[in-house]
Amino acid sequence: MTRTAAAGALLAALAGCASTQSHDSHDSADAGTKKPAAAAPTTVPGVGPSLRERIPAGSRQVVAVYGEGRNSPDATVVLYIKQGRTWQKESSWPAHNARKGWTTDHHEDDGRSPVGVFTLTDAGGVLKNPGTKLPYTRSSAFETPSWWQKPYRHDFDYVIAIDYNRIKGTSPSDPTRPEGERKGGSIWLHMDHGSGTSACVSLSKAGMEHLLKTLDPAAHPVVVMGDRAELAA
């Protein structure tokens, strides 16, 4: 179970928190011809109009989190980069979301991740900055409590704050929740421990390092997250 760690104020927030399908290239029934490659999408794949219209017009980087089901903790994270008018799939990783799945009305301690489109503006962690362009706060305050089980102790070595009920431009450890405590908060992208989280989205260390090195404030990155049915709505 993932929880947001920090000394003092951060400890109070503790409760808050793919494979690429290849195209067939063998010869078709017409000798000497090959199956044409699919055209690059002009919208983020699998994201329907309800969430698509919430992606800012200036965004050129989208981290899409495709939850396997409304009540599933399993997901796939895909990084898309907009080139011209099309969205190119750059990388993907197996991931986890909240242990109980997803919700469109997230509340503190409901054990579900919020469905939605959220900006990505701030990062941090126990480890030194790997070379991100995002504002990065390195602090021992991100260290998990000593009583946490071993698989969870490196969850917050790297984190990227998901701008759900938080103040942009602050450290991910900032506990301020503009919409109130009841709406939850301290929801991050962070390192995976092999199972569902409290509300965050987790992926491998290599995946987190790649996102940190690739996401650029000038590209106005956002995360689009939810179970596949809600994403497609």
The answer to whether residue 30 scores a pLDDT higher than 50 is: no
- In this structure, what token pair is assigned to residue 196? 């569902």
CA distance 161 to 8: 19
Q: For residue 164, give the amino acid letter.
A: Y
pLDDT, tens digit (0-9, with 9 covering 90-100), for 197-217: 999 999 999 999 999 999 999
pTM value? 0.85
* All structural domains of the chain with their residue ranges: 49-232
Kindly state the tokens that stand for 62.
Answer: 């989208």
Fold of domain 49-232: L,D-transpeptidase catalytic domain-like (2.40.440)
pLDDT at 156 over 50: yes
The residue that leads in pLDDT, 17 or 177, is 177
